[in-house]
């Protein structure tokens, strides 16, 4: 068995005595290229974390996030060890547990913690993870709906919570969401609107404007109006923003925030660079709030997931998602990076 974390060891070769098998999307490195294939894997190849509190999960659904797209296509060095089962999220049912909080049959989900990067992730029918990385799903949410939410929806909630913790309230003014037709963006629009904010959605797909309005956007702005290099200080337009895009877009957002405003920055769909000046920070006192979802402590995860269950109607969760079989994941991952996928993609690993 492989081991996790700083304690990670390389995957073992196929064992000679076979136990239970499961299907997984497997990434291999061949001549500097990432090659994806569906493989039948022996359960004994699943790593153990070494903390003695691992849980074996029968995965029901996974999902495709932007990071999964990068990993599966090899477009960015997301994968740290090979071969790799990608998938930073999964939801399923506990099969066996050495963790006191989980019993066989429990409905659980996992986001981040290096899954699909440093240890095998969720695009498979089985996953073994430290129990401390799991959360019990709120009763209202099915495993399928949990993957409609996935890291994207949970990150959107972390962004909104970051803005509110900073002190942004609906009476401060409009809140911009960039990359609004993506997974994080769609959920950010819905959550902010539900919390009473007037939401402005920035998108490169204005033809999807009606969908964004149904999610709660009051108005739409063209992505192109934000994505080109701009002045260091611009007209004050937004009280706050959730930025999924980075690069010039984030620089322009900072330059257009109202005095004392804040942006929760979580993404890099346009680029990882930030060609900005300090002017908005030192002349308008705006705040750049970084949001990471991967290593957020468990209590904050549970709170974010509970808030999603309480606030986002199931109909909204269902409306942002389409479902694909595991075998389609590589093709859809490439389309996702091309900005051709709207909302969220659920992967039925058993289809």
Least distance to ligand NDP, CB of residue 308, Å:
14
Asked whether the CA dihedral 290, 300, 55, 58 is positive or negative, the reply is negative
Q: Which is nearer to ligand NDP, 134 or 184 (CB)?
A: 184
Does residue 79 interact with ligand NDP by CB under 6 A? no
Nearest distance in Å: CB 20, ligand NDP: 32
Task: Rule CB under 6 A: choose which of 270, 301, 321, 329 binds ligand NDP.
Answer: 270
Check residue 221 for interaction with ligand NDP (CB under 6 A).
Answer: no
Residues 125-144 that bind ligand NDP (CB under 6 A): none
Q: Is residue 292 close enough to count as binding ligand NDP by CB under 6 A?
A: yes
Binds ligand NDP (CB under 6 A): choice among 4, 22, 61, 66:
66
**Which of 11/267 has CB closer to ligand NDP?**
267
Region binding ligand NDP by CB under 6 A among candidate stretches 1-9, 128-136, 175-183, 297-305: 175-183
Q: Judged by CB under 6 A, does residue 153 bind ligand NDP?
A: no
Is the separation of the CB atoms in 252 and 275 below 8 Å? Answer: no
- The most distant pair of C-alpha atoms in the chain lies apart, rounded to whole Å, by 68
Chain centroid, CA 114 distance in Å: 12
Using CB under 6 A, count the residues that bind ligand NDP.
32
Residue 205 binds to ligand NDP (criterion: CB under 6 A):
yes
CB 217 within 8 A of CB 197: no
Nearest to 330 by CA among 33, 2, 32, 11: 33
296 phi, psi to nearest 5 deg? -65, 135
For residue 335, the Cα-to-chain-centroid distance in whole angstroms is 16
CA distances from 100 to 48, 55, 77, 96, 269 (A): 17, 10, 35, 11, 39
Q: Per CB under 6 A, does 152 bind ligand NDP?
A: yes
End-to-end CA distance of the chain: 27
* DSSP per-residue codes, 163-191: HHHHT--GGG--EEESSTTSHHHHHHHHH
> 125 or 249: whose CB is closer to ligand NDP?
249
Give dist(CA 37, CA 2) in Å, integer: 20
Give me the residue label for tokens 């993870």: 129
CB of 209 to ligand NDP, least distance (A): 10
Among positions 122, 182, 230, 261, the unique one binding ligand NDP when judged by CB under 6 A: 182
CA 268, chain centre distance (Å):
12
36, 127, 215, 245: which one contacts ligand NDP (CB under 6 A)? 245
Instruction: Identify which of residues 169 and 322 has a Cβ nearer to ligand NDP in the complex.
Output: 322
Q: Residue numbers of the site for ligand NDP (CB under 6 A)?
A: 65-67, 151-152, 155, 179-185, 203-205, 223, 227, 244-245, 249, 266-270, 291-294, 336, 339
């Amino acid at each position: 068995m492989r081991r996790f974390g700083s304690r990670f060891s390389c995957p073992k070769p196929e064992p000679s005595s076979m136990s239970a098998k499961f299907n997984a999307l497997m990434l291999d490195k061949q001549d500097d290229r990432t090659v994806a294939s569906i493989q039948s894997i022996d359960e004994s190849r699943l790593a153990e974390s070494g903390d003695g509190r691992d849980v074996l999960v029968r995965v029901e659904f996974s999902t495709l996030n932007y990071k999964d797209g990068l990993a599966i296509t090899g477009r960015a060095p997301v994968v740290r060890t090979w071969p790799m089962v990608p998938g930073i999220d999964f939801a399923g049912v506990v099969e066996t547990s050495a963790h006191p909080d989980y019993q066989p049959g429990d409905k659980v989900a996992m986001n981040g913690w290096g899954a699909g990067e440093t240890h095998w992730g969720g695009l498979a029918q089985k996953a073994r993870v430290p129990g401390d990385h799991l959360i019990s799903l709120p009763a209202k949410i099915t495993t399928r709906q949990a993957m409609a939410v996935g890291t994207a929806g949970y990150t959107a909630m972390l962004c909104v919570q970051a803005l509110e913790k900073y002190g942004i309230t609906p009476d401060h003014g409009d809140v911009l969401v960039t990359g609004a037709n993506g997974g994080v963006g769609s959920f950010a629009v819905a959550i902010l609107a539900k919390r009473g904010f007037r939401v402005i959605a920035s998108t490169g797909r204005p033809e999807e404007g009606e969908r964004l309005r149904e999610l709660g956007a009051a108005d739409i702005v063209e992505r192109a109006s934000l994505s080109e290099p701009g002045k260091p200080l611009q007209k004050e337009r937004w009280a706050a923003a959730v930025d999924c895009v980075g690069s010039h877009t984030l620089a322009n957002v900072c330059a257009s925030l109202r005095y004392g405003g804040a942006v929760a920055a979580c993404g890099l769909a346009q680029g990882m660079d930030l060609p900005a000046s300090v002017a908005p920070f030192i002349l308008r006192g705006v705040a750049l709030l970084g949001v990471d979802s991967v290593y957020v402590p468990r209590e904050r995860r549970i709170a974010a997931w509970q808030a999603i269950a309480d606030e986002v109607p199931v109909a909204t969760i269902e409306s942002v998602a389409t479902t694909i079989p595991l075998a389609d994941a590589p093709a859809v991952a490439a389309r996702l990076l091309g900005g051709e996928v709207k909302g969220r993609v659920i992967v039925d690993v058993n289809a």
